[in-house]
């Protein structure tokens, strides 16, 4: 067991975030579940609590809220600390797409994606880094994307946000290393989630042709990389982007 260390996973009601929260739960971490839809957060929280003996159910809490609002960020972090104690790890997983070719992309399409995928990460990380610096330890893991490294037509806003997140990861890794806080990114390729279920058959077939391992990944396989970076074994790894992409970028 990982000694009941506390982790906050943003956007953990479904998909990759839920898989990450589930793995942390099964390894004995205390986990705060976040998402912008309160009922979904409660539902995910309950389903994870059911994996534990009744006396440990309080180790999993709901920390709902839209993280693009600074007031919500303060509230979420306050609630997590109050209920689960000091934070060991932050997983910045919440993210969204709003795909369009550049010439059809509105300012709103651009702003919404950058606001969640990058600005909210800045807000939450700034708040939590302050606490981690005081503690003298911590792990920050950002969920980026392979397209932040190799680009993707029709996703200029999303790709800019994920490339920005990888840059943010490296800058922060340098800033926080003297305080024994590591900062890394996990960059998934194409994962079997709602986000990729939106793709047409033709898009999926094209995609599979370009992936050396010839399949999408399961959310669990991304979660495994996150759990490794959060573990004691990864203490000497910082400022990296770990690709979980079936060989798509190499």
Q: Least distance from C-beta 173 to ligand NAD, angstroms?
A: 19
Alpha carbons 247 and 250: distance in angstroms, whole number:
6
Closest CA to 246 of 99, 112, 146, 113: 146
Dihedrals phi, psi of 30, to nearest 5 degrees: -90, 130
Tell me how crowded residue 250 is: count the other CB atoms within 10 A of its CB: 6
Which residues face 244 on adjacent strands? 188
Asked if 158 is an active-site residue, the reply is yes
- Which of 40, 221 has the CB closer to ligand NAD? 40
Q: Pairing relation of β-strands 87-92 and 241-244?
A: unpaired
- Which of 15, 164 has the CB closer to ligand NAD? 15
Q: Least distance from C-beta 11 to ligand NAD, angstroms?
A: 3
| Distances, alpha carbon 102 to alpha carbons 153, 183, 220, in Å | 9, 31, 33
DSSP code of 69?
S
Collapsing DSSP to helix, strand or coil, 45 comes out as: helix
Interface residues with ligand NAD (CB under 6 A) are: 10-17, 34-37, 40, 66-68, 93-96, 116, 143, 145, 188, 190-191, 193-196
- Which of 193, 241 has the CB closer to ligand NAD? 193
- Which of 45, 176 has the CB closer to ligand NAD? 45
Residues designated catalytic = 158
């Amino acid at each position: 067991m990982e000694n009941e260390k506390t982790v906050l996973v943003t956007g953990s009601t479904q998909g990759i975030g839920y898989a990450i929260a589930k793995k942390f739960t099964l390894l004995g971490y205390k986990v705060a579940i976040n998402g912008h839809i309160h009922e979904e957060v409660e539902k995910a929280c309950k389903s994870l609590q059911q994996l534990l003996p009744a006396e440990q159910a309080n180790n999993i809490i709901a920390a709902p809220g839209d993280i693009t609002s600074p007031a919500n960020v303060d509230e979420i972090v306050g609630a997590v600390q109050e209920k689960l104690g000091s934070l060991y790890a932050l997983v910045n997983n919440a993210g969204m797409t709003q795909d369009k070719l550049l010439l059809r992309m509105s300012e709103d399409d651009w702003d919404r994606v950058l606001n969640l995928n990058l600005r909210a990460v800045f807000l939450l990380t700034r708040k939590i880094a302050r606490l981690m610096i005081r503690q003298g330890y911590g792990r920050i893991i950002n969920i980026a994307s392979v397209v932040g490294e190799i680009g993707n037509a029709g996703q200029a806003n999303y790709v800019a946000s994920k490339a920005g997140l990888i840059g943010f990861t490296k800058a922060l890794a340098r800033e926080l290393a003297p305080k024994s806080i590591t900062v890394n990114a996990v960059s998934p390729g194409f994962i079997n989630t709602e986000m990729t279920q939106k793709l047409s058959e033709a898009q999926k077939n094209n995609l599979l042709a370009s992936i050396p391992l010839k399949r999408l990944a399961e959310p669990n396989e991304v979660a495994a990389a996150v759990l490794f970076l959060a573990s004691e074994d990864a203490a000497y790894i910082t400022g990296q982007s770990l690709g979980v992409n079936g060989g798509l970028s190499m």
